[in-house]
Structure 1
Amino acid sequence: MSPFSRRGFLAASAATAASLMLPARVRAQSGRLSLTATTRTIDVRGRAATVWGLLDGAGRSGLVLDPGQAFAVDLTNTLAEPTIIHWHGQIPPNAQDGVPDLPMPVLQAGENRAYDFAARPGTHWMHAHIPTHEMMLLAAPLVVRRPEDIAADRQEVTLFLHDFAFKPPAEVLAEITGGASMAGMDHGQMGQGGMDHSGMDMGAMGQGDMMAMPGMDGMAMDLNDYNFDAYLANDRTLDDPEVVQVDKGGRILVRVINAAAATVFWIDTGALPGRLVAVDGEPVQPLPGSRFGVAMGQRLDIELDVPGEGGAFPILALREGARERTGVILATPGAAVTRIAEMSEADHPAFSGDLAQEGALRAVTPLPERAPASQPMLMLGGTMMPYVWTINGQTWGSHVPVTAKSGDRVEIMFHNMSMMAHPMHLHGHAFQVVGVGMDRIAGAVRDTVHVPPMGMVTVAVDAGEAARWMLHCHHMPHLSTGMMTEFAVSASRRHVVSASRSSDEAISCSGRASRSVGSTGRPSTRTS
């Protein structure tokens, strides 16, 4: 059976993984949106693979919201096991953040839960906050368009990246971690005793790719823990890539989302010089180039101009420290599209060792200048043998939270003392990169920052809702072995006084009223 007829045979499931290309204009939506966690089938080099996904009411992967549209979503779990979805890049009420038991329980099989909050504009995504589930591709784009996107005369294309293995994710994690995975960990209730790694058998673990760091006297950083079976762009490999039709002389906005579990990519725009115009959903001063790095959890918006004579233009994602690549092809009508090998001729370089890209980014709308109330340092550590990754020497369960009061400015320095990079993601907040190494900058506003081996990155964040917010490495094997702490925000005195005054006013007007979040996740009011 040819790849094309086989893809036709899989049409019923392929409909659930419809093209991720976004039209230049989308019709205004009204009312609530539906989202379903479900199984689907994709074709990986001629082999059918059952994966999971997040599909909208029309069976398409992910959600696209119009400017000003609220995130009003009903999520249904049709999988056979409980899961929970995190809205990566959004700033919902803490109860709707999507972390197991912090504070809401996982979504049971067959359960529906409602989510309601103001959507943060930009290129974001959504994924299960259980490592093995995310590795089953339970993830999808979440794009919230700005008025400028509607006004711009440009086509939008989403490039959604994954690493994929035919083996069950639990087996992959066991090979990588030597059996030390905490993939099913209960984020909220884990005991405080820490982990005993002394008995880990590392024999099953694949050898990570190594690359010497410049100026480090021969020290080598570990780039890749595992050689996945395939690297996917919009669910497809380069043996049968998505070909997106574009106009001659047109302008394209490529929304890149790195949803991979453990792979950093270079985005290579080839013959189309690009401009990086946003990271993690937040605009930056345009940075010209044809190759940009993107770590796990991060997003890039790259603007491209198609020449007037047209043609076919591969936009490739290159696996760092290795030869594998994936991507999509932009093609004007009638252009000849040639097959691209899945392997480059040589290994691609490591990303971000010198923090050059991060240091060059400048926010369009930086945070206002403020003196920080605190400046905690987080030491990022760990080893390959035994496979254990820590924050300030601790794994989740024995962690010491980063604390702040709501409204305070906090500057967190991530100091990586390990030989692997760590993309550090903070829930419920956007932060600004204000330091790379010892240099002070007015860098990008982000929610995920890549900290290279022996590197230092400082971020400024204004503490939001008083709650427990997760702060963790977005490398799934690192997370699964406990590389997570929390940003514990408590109410400031002024917020406590204000809340108390509001409560008194509410009681005087309507008796004793209280608001709670029910099992659906939607606030409900009870009056007694």
Structure 2
Amino acid sequence: MSIDRRSFLKNSLVAGLGLAATSCMPIARLESTDDYHYTLTLEEASFELIPGTQTPGKGFNGQFPAPIIKGKQGRPITITVINKLQEPTTIHWHGIRIDIAMDGVPFLTQKPIMPGETFVYHFTPPDAGTFWYHPHVNSLMQLGKGLAGLLIVEEAENPQFTPDDFAADLPLILKNWHLNDDGSFSELSIPRYAARMGTPGNYETINGLHKPVFDVPANSWIRLRFANIDNTLVYKLRIKNQPAFVVSIDGNPIAEPKPLKDHPLGAGMRVDIALLTPDAGQEIVVENGKGRLFFSYMRLRTIESDKQQSKASLATIPRLPLNPIPEPDLENAETLKFVFEWEGAVTPVSHNGKTHHKFWTINRRAWEGMSANNIPEPLARLELGKTYVFDLKNNTPHGHPIHLHGFMFKVIKSNKKRIDPFYADTVLMEKNERVKIAFVADNPGRWMYHCHVIEHMKTGLMGYIEVS
């Protein structure tokens, strides 16, 4: 089952359209005839983002975009990770319900992978969908300089759905880089912004390209997999004048496809959109909202293809099979409250004069870091198998995408907007919003629980829960 990049693209991602749509999205090479087995290296890398310049970043297998890792629901995946950086690292498989030993958090779940060392991750994804992977060591720098990639888990065999139900399947990773005009990095974090919404980048890319145009088959249903791998930004996506539906959130299909009006996507979040394309020779504009205004973000160009669907219509929208997530028992659930607050501008200083900014707290505790011999107390201890409702209150004037490792939770209520309950691993909380989420604590371990704005996480808005 050895697969090279060209044949994978032809048979899976763009379904015979050629390489235009995903030419900048390399595919990890399978190394086994029976299992999904890959090797990833983390290394210094130079890549072209601003045309005609080179950016001195960090890349998986020395490149950006990173290789797409492809798995299948219910099938084991083995990923050998080799650290060629000059600093420790780990890999977190964001959104995968995973054994705690494979979750990739330094000291809490594994020893850091030191320079020159190798670590083998092995897990079986129970869910199909769009996920991603990134380091959980020095995240501001490692993730900010390019160490992030997609993990796509295909659906198990199902008589009601096959990947061929979409004429094309486009992975789209969204990142806003902090770059100078010559391609070098500007400051990734500025304290006054870290204490607000985070330090924004200044150069937007999709799959490493600025305002790209991708070819797609005409008169067909296509799948757009948007993943926000940015350190900071919230994207607000919409597609004008063309039928488009949300079919999956954070890798979790929804029972009834929801018409796309606009969809906010905080750091770490994903959304899959089913789009019905028009006749050949037309362009579809995907927009990103900033405040109340929307701007062109990328375009899709429709072309004739042998994969286009002659009978595609609103009546034939593909429906993804639901993932096997346990339903929370709300009648017998225990409620735990978590308040996210701004701590203030008092900056702790070490004996050598180095500052350690702490701007954010969870239940009045700022994350103090950890080491091999110093693991802080958990934010909460949960009983294995029991249902919990987390009552989340954002007492700040800024948004926070709150992410929980090891689980998919059900978003059930908000004081700011109407919620049609859905499953996710990250919930984007607006300023002063109160949200309730629920899940079955069926995965034992110590699970990180944090804001995915990396500067917020690094300056206090992080902790963990313990399930035992």
Q: TM-score, normalised by structure 1?
A: 0.68
Whether the 8 Å CA contact 1:18–1:59 is kept in 2: the answer is no
Cα displacement string for residues 210-232 of structure 1 (whole angstroms, at most 9, x for unaligned residues): xxxxxxxxxxxx6x433422122
Residue aligning to 1:289: 260
> 1:428 offset after TM fit, Å?
0.7
Q: CA deviation at 1:101?
A: 0.9
1:377/1:273 CA distance change after superposition, 3 Å = same
How big is the shift at 1:163? 1.9
Q: In structure 2, what is the equivalent of residue 488 of structure 1?
A: 466
The match for 2:412 among 427, 430, 434 is 434
Q: 1-side partners of 2:34 and 2:179: how far apart?
A: 37
User: Once the two structures are aligned, what percentage of the paired residues are identical?
Assistant: 24
Unaligned runs of 5+ in 1: 1-16, 178-204, 209-221, 336-362, 491-528
Equivalent residues in 2 for 1:85-234, closer than 5 Å: 85-119=91-125, 120-130=127-137, 131=139, 132-146=141-155, 147=157, 148-166=161-179, 171-173=187-189, 175=190, 177=191, 205-206=192-193, 224-234=197-207
Structure 1 residue 44: deviation in Å?
2.9
Q: Quote the Cα distance in structure 2 between the aligned partners of 1:18 and 1:139.
A: 17
Paired residue total: 396
Backbone CA RMSD of aligned residues: 3.2
Counterparts in 2 of 1:391 and 1:70: CA distance versus 1, 3 Å: same
Report Cα offsets for 1:392-418 as digits up to 9, x if no partner: 111113765221111111110111111
Partner of 1:264: 234
1:51 to 29, 34, 57: 57
Cα distance change, pair 99–93 in 1 and its aligned pair in 2 (3 A): same
Residue correspondence of structure 1 range 379-390 to structure 2 within 5 A: 379-382=339-342, 385=345, 388-390=359-361
Q: Distance in 1 between matches of 2:35 and 2:398?
A: 45
Rate the CA distance shift 1:427–1:142 in 2: closer, same or farther, 3 A: same
Q: Which residue of 1 aligns with 2:245?
A: 275
The CA deviation string for residues 249-280 of structure 1, in whole angstroms up to 9 with x for no partner, is 12110001011101000112233331001101
Name the CA distance, whole Å, in 1 between partners of 2:339 and 2:144.
27
On the 8 A contact 1:107/1:113 being kept in 2, the answer is yes
Q: CA separation in 2, counterparts of 1:302 and 1:21?
A: 22
Aligned to 2:455, the other structure's residue is in SS state helix
The amino acid that maps onto 2:188 is V
Residue matched to 1:36:
41
In 1, Cα distance between the equivalents of 2:135 and 2:185? 13
Relative distance call for 1:156 and 1:144 in structure 2 (3 A) is: same
Query: In the alignment, is the contact (CA less than 8 A) between 1:249 and 1:310 conserved in 2?
Result: no
1:466 correspondence with 2:444: yes
Q: SS of 1:79's equivalent? A: coil
Q: Name the CA shift for 1:390/1:60 in 2 (closer, same or farther; >3 Å).
A: closer
Task: Quote how far apart the aligned CAs of 1:322 are.
Answer: 8.6
1:406 to 384, 391, 412: 384
- The alpha-carbon distance between structure 1 residues 69 and 233, as it changes in their structure 2 partners (threshold 3 A), is same
**Aligned equivalents of 1:90 and 1:231: distance in 2?**
27
- 1:291 & 1:438 partners in 2: Cα distance? 16
Structure with the bigger percentage of helix: 1
SS at match of 2:236: strand
Answer yes or no: is the 8 Å Cα contact 1:383–1:418 preserved in 2. no
CA distance in 2 between counterparts of 1:324 and 1:272 reads 16
Which 5+ residue runs of structure 2 have no aligned equivalent? 1-21, 306-321, 347-357, 369-375
Inter-partner Cα distance in structure 2 for 1:112 and 1:366: 32
The offset of 1:52, in angstroms, is: 1.8
* C-alpha distance in 1 between matches for 2:210 and 2:417: 40
Q: Which amino acid aligns with 2:361?
A: T
Give the partner amino acid of 2:145. M
The answer to whether the aligner puts 1:247 opposite 2:247 as a matched pair is: no
Tell me the equivalent position of 1:236.
209
Counterparts of 1:433 and 1:486, CA distance in 2: 19
2: distance between equivalents of 1:118 and 1:207? 36
Aligned 8 A contact 2:217 2:304 in 1: no
Native 8 Å contact 1:29 1:66 kept in 2: no
Rg comparison, structure with higher value? 1
Q: Indicate the larger mover: 146-155 or 229-238.
A: 146-155
Q: Structure 2-normalised TM-score?
A: 0.76
3-state DSSP of counterpart to 1:428: coil
Which whole-Å CA distance do the structure 2 matches of 1:379 and 1:432 have between them? Answer: 19
Q: Secondary structure at the match of 1:101?
A: coil
Counterpart of 2:315 in structure 1 is none
